Amino acid sequence: MTKNENAVWSSPTPLFDLTGQDEMPYADAVKKHAEQNKINLMVPGHSGSNEAGAHAIADYFGDRIAALDIPLMIEGIDLGSESPMMQARRLAAAAWGAHKTWFLSNGASQANRTAAIAVAGLGKNVIMQRSSHSSFIDGVLAAGLKPSFISPSVDYKNGASHGVTPQALEEQLAAADEPVAAVYVVSPSYFGATADVAGIAEVAHRYGAALIVDGAWGPHFGFHEKLPESPVRLGADIVISSTHKLAGSLTQSAMLHLGKSEFTERLLPYMERAFSMTSSTSQSAILSVSLDIARHTLVNGRANIGKSIEIANDLRDRIRLHPHLAVLDDTFREFDDIVATDPLRVAIDVSALAHDGHWVRGYLQTEHNIFFEMSTSTVIVAVIGAGARPSVERIMVALDDVVHAAGLRDGAHISEQFPELPAPSELVMLPRDAYFAEIELVSAAEAVGRISADSLAAYPPGIPNVLPGEIISKDLVEFLSAVATSPTGYVRGAHDSVVSKYRVVKR
């Protein structure tokens, strides 16, 4: 499904130079180092030798794991501008269409914090999608940014938040009282909904703002003609890429891409320094190796990615034929912000069943050893990695069983829907100032009219309902209380599970 020809490839031929993409310079260098007959008188403490100290590690993980676990600053591996590490990063930048790429060992959360700190060099005012990841809000606090917010479209029935349109962004930029330095949007959403990044980038740039795209859930974009295009190539200035999610690297590894635009040279020094501030001085070689391998696999694995897409589409087609299940992305045409869908995300509507999506997901784990990525009260979401080949037959057998075990919902029963989101409150203090202010703990009733010191987000759909520095409204308190006391909702960041108390700025 696509509404925008710029959202997907127009040709099966990769839109980047394949020179060197059949190599894995960093992975090969680490492997060569590990195979040497050496004595390590340095960290890590297991010494990299099964005989000398890593026997327990080897017994658990295998013989090679400790030898590959090497520290930073090794000649021939990561030292120097022409090191294998730098070669691997340049190949990654070419693969995703970036000017420069950084390897991260603290996930996309590190990328979000790095991006927030970096764009502070352009100015303090940012417009951010209200459903942004909490790690970007952490970066806003750390960098002292002044945010304003743009709301995504929300599927209230299914607890799913999606994206924003170029038109909505233009209206907000045009109405801004002060120049906006950067815009932050999320694409794709947790459910695979992809926004018009090219259109959003054009609008942001026309108003002199850099565009940050949280593409954490789309690290595989741009590597097959049936996938949406890489947001870097669509004009984004900074792209967060959680490579481990669908692109095959190890958990907690990620990439951060700096795009090619009028902002590149201005952002580059801030990105370099922000990366130094947020990265570990003991970055994992094993995680970095997995990033090099993942890039190599994506670039050279078009046929395997295509097979994964075929499997995902087969699963979709079978679910569409099921009398009691449905495919959520068949409803995406109702949302103007969605221009394409990630085919490797299969969201299954289970609202016809007598048990909710959380029960369904748990049943599939315990009874069939099948683990879905997430659930809401009405949906379970399957994530199929680029190159993965799960058994559709086994999945459908399990789904048939869970439908039988759950039973069907009484026709008179109305599926659970959370109340409409309260309107965002006025921001009266910088989030950083409110977060670090002297605070006090008050009851929910006493919190009305006070300044929040916390970021609170109701799940589902996970949109931050109040941030540090915003006024707590009566509608907000009632909404969060309703969510927290519902069977399938909770409030992230709350002082207690039923949100009976709030942390507020002391008067």
> Residue 6 has what pLDDT?
44
Residue 141 confidence (pLDDT):
92
Identify the CA nearest to 105 among candidates 238, 287, 289.
287
State how far the alpha carbon of 116 is from the alpha carbons of 110, 188, 257, 313, in Å: 10, 19, 13, 37
Phi first, then psi: what are they for 412, rounded to 5°? -85, -10
* Residue 506 bridge partners (DSSP): none
Q: What is the pLDDT of residue 164?
A: 97
- Bridge partners (DSSP) of residue 154 are 161
* Among 82, 96, 65, 67, CA closest to 26: 82
> CA angle, corner 273, sides to 271 and 275, nearest 5?
65
Tokens of 156: 């209230």
182, 259 in Cβ contact below 8 A?
A: no
Which candidate, 34, 37, 104, 108, places its Cα nearest to that of 67?
34
Query: What SS3 class is residue 187?
Result: coil
pLDDT at 488: 63
Dig out the tokens for 246 from the structure: 């669908």
Residue 247 to residue 257: CA distance in whole angstroms: 15
Q: Residues near 417 by Cβ (< 8 Å), separated by ≥ 6? A: 156, 157
Q: How far apart are CA 483 and CA 121, in angstroms?
A: 38
pLDDT at 286: 96
Distance CA 68, CA 302 (A): 28
Quick one: pLDDT at residue 19? Answer: 85
Reported for 317-325, long-range contacts at CB under 8 A and 24+ positions apart, including other chains, are 318/392, 318/396, 319/346, 319/348, 319/399, 322/399, 322/400, 322/403, 324/352, 324/353, 324/403, 324/408, 325/349, 325/350, 325/352, 325/399, 325/403
- Residue 309 phi/psi, 5-degree rounding, is -65, -40
Residues of the chain short of pLDDT 70, as ranges, are 1-16, 52, 411-420, 460-462, 487-488
Q: What are the pLDDT digits (tens) for 405-446?
A: 999 988 644 444 555 678 888 899 999 999 999 999 999 999
In the beta sheet, which residues pair with residue 194? 340
Amino acid at the residue 487: P
Q: What are phi and psi of 129, to 5 degrees?
A: -60, 135
Question: In whole angstroms, what separates CA 412 from the centre of its chain?
Answer: 38
